[in-house]
Amino acid sequence: MRKAELVGFEKFVIKEVPDPEPGKGQVVIRVNYCAVCGTDLEPFRVLKEKNIDTRYISGSMNLWAQMTGITMYQLLGHEISGEIAKVGEGVEGWSVGDRVVPRAYGGYADYVIADVKPAGLFSGLYRIPDGVSMEEAALVEPLSVAVAAVRRSEMKLGDRVAIFGAGPIGLLILQCIRAAGAGEVFISEPLKVRREVAKKLGADEVINPREEDPVERIKDLTGGEGVNVAFECSGVGEVLRQAIEAVRVGVPEYRSRGRVMVVGIYPKPAVIYPNWVVLKNVELRGTLAYNPPSAPDDEFKIALTLLKRRMVNLKPLITAKFPLERINDAFREALEGKHIKVLIHP
């Protein structure tokens, strides 16, 4: 089979390797699509952006290694949809030809191996509902990230919400908070293509931060109060400051406080003035990925239910498809901001 292997910064090569064989409790999946994640672009960003502090990139890799037992670079290609090609010993309830979303990695290839039984973060298998395309199914993994972020935010029905950064995760969070009953939703995003999609997907106000101050605009739109919850999805320190300033002042006696959800991954430290958080009685929370499949609340299952019931629309996010042979072009164009979500297909 063919497999794209990262051999250096900005360079994948397509190699011929033996076809995989499933072990006990495993299946082999023929990959239909693998979407490009922001973390997949990390090796490219490190080379192109000179202001990135590689100590923090290395730190994020070490954290992933501790959590999953694999390094960040090994995680390349984890947003996968496909069909079961082979079934291993002891696997029940799954057959060749079943359309599936695996919790797996190495999806820039013709085939991947997936563990069927839920164990660690990257194990488990999910059936794609009828009527859901393979392209949409490739976005179930990032949709699960958005589902987890919204659920951990404890956003309430009717809450005003701001989203800073309308990349794929920001746009998925937009749809999840709409499904969860958010009130007014405001988005700050510098790229035109993303602002246009955000408006189509139901944002009440889409702000270009290059032309106006998003904090001042949000304050104007909320009568000076600010929002109940802000999601920071850009990974930019200055934008984190804006998210903190955009939330409302907390009222302790009513157990009401503005909440900032830090979703973006930061390539360098963000400077926060503690009084922004303390004097406003703001709550700052981080959210990473999603629960393991063994948890009572499996965000992959929730994401598939939202998709099956058409409570989210993933098609507008898919703005480009590349064959495996053009994976380097796909990564370069994604890094340049030409697309929202890129799919690779063998």
pLDDT in tens, 98-129: 999 999 989 999 999 999 988 777 889 999 99
308-340 pLDDT, tens per residue?
999 999 999 999 999 999 999 999 899 888 899
**Domain range annotation of the chain:** 2-139+314-345, 145-286
Q: Which fold has domain 2-139+314-345?
A: Quinone Oxidoreductase; Chain A, domain 1 (3.90.180)
Tokens of 84: 């079961």
d(Cα 218, Cα 247) in Å, to the nearest integer? 9
What mean pLDDT is predicted for residues 164-169? Answer: 96
DSSP conformation class of 287:
-
Tell me if 245 sits within 8 A of 216, measured CB to CB. no
Q: Per residue in 176-195, pLDDT tens? A: 999 999 999 999 999 999 99
Which segments within 238-317 are labelled E, that is strand? 259-262, 283-286
Element (H, E) at 188: strand 185-188
pTM score: 0.91
Quick one: CA dihedral 176, 165, 268, 226, positive or negative?
A: negative
The predicted pLDDT at position 162 comes to 98
pLDDT confidence bin for 70, thresholds 50/70/90: low
Mean pLDDT, the chain, rounded, equals: 89
pLDDT tens-digit profile of 263-299?
998 777 888 888 888 888 899 999 988 888 888 889 9
Pairwise CA distance, residues 167 & 304, whole Å: 21
Topology (CATH level 3) of domain 145-286? Rossmann fold (3.40.50)
Looking up tokens 């907390």 gives 250
**What are 33-44's pLDDT values in tens digits?**
999 998 788 765
**Residues 276 and 240: beta-carbon distance below 8 Å:** no
Coil, strand or helix at 3? strand
Q: How confident is the model at residue 71 (pLDDT cuts 50, 70, 90)?
A: low
pLDDT given for residue 131 in this prediction:
93
Place of tokens 């958005």: 146
